[in-house]
């Protein structure tokens, strides 16, 4: 039967308002919805970090490089040692060289000898080394972003840290979901332990006879 011979049925409520453009928009929206249905949101790999307060800054240490945490106690000074080397202490019958992290990073002067804090011993071959921090705050999972393209005012230079010792910038997995009282919820620098210890170990080696 020719299309012109078809008799239109009664109009449905609101049918007159559905213009051709409106119908196309509805169909496009439905197509996009069906295309994205069942797809999981893109995820980025995260790293486990030990979040610490050192001087005026909050920083992250890679958790796989941490062996133990214990309360700081007075150390035996080492004559002629670098300013960042607080001294030696014993832990389980093993000598631990304690390095003040804030001093090593250049963000704060050496604290008083009776200052409280924590020592984070590092998992490494060779002599045991511990980093003195003001406080260990938490263990967290975070996306670590590269420093490439990050402007100085938003990078480690803003905190007085050289890029050499910074592995990246940690971003909380769920930004805005919770802000810790210490401010770590807004992001923090992640320390490259090998780059941090390199100059200290080199200074400790005896020179050629």
* pLDDT for res 35: 65
pLDDT score of 68 more than 90? yes
* pLDDT for res 20: 67
Distances from the Cα of 162 to the Cαs of 20, 128, 195, in angstroms? Answer: 61, 25, 11
Give the three-state DSSP class for 60. Answer: strand
pLDDT class of 112 with cuts at 50, 70, 90? confident
Burial of 88 (0-12, 13-18, 19+ CB in 10 A): middle
pLDDT score of 181 more than 80? no
Convert the pLDDT of each residue in 5-62 to its tens digit: 444 444 444 445 556 676 666 677 767 666 666 555 556 788 999 999 998 889 999 9
* pLDDT for res 81: 87
Alpha-carbon distance of 143 to 53, in angstroms, equals: 19
* pLDDT for res 72: 95
Alpha-carbon distance of 104 to 118, in angstroms, equals: 16
Where is average pLDDT lowest: 76-80, 125-129, 160-164? 160-164
Choose from 3-7, 149-153, 202-206 the range with maximum mean pLDDT: 202-206
Q: Which run of H or of E encompasses 194? A: helix 193-204
């Amino acid at each position: 039967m020719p299309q012109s011979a078809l008799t239109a049925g009664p109009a449905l409520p609101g049918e007159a308002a559905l213009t051709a453009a409106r119908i196309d928009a509805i169909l496009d929206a439905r197509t996009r919805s069906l295309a994205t249905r069942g797809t999981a949101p893109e995820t980025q790999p995260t790293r486990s970090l030990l979040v610490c307060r050192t001087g005026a800054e909050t920083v992250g240490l890679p958790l796989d490089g941490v062996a133990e945490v214990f309360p700081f106690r007075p150390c035996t000074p080492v004559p002629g040692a670098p300013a960042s080397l607080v001294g030696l202490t014993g832990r389980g019958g093993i000598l631990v060289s304690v390095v003040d992290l804030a001093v090593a990073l250049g963000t704060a002067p050496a604290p008083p000898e009776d200052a409280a804090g924590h020592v984070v011993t590092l998992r490494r071959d060779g002599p045991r080394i511990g980093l003195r921090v003001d406080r260990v705050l938490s263990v967290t999972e975070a996306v670590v972003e590269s420093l490439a393209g990050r402007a100085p005012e938003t990078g480690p230079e803003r905190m007085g840290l050289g890029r050499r010792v910074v592995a990246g910038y940690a971003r909380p997995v769920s930004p805005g979901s919770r802000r810790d009282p210490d401010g770590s919820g807004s992001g923090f620098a992640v320390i490259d332990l090998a780059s941090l210890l390199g100059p200290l170990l080199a200074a400790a080696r005896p020179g050629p006879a």
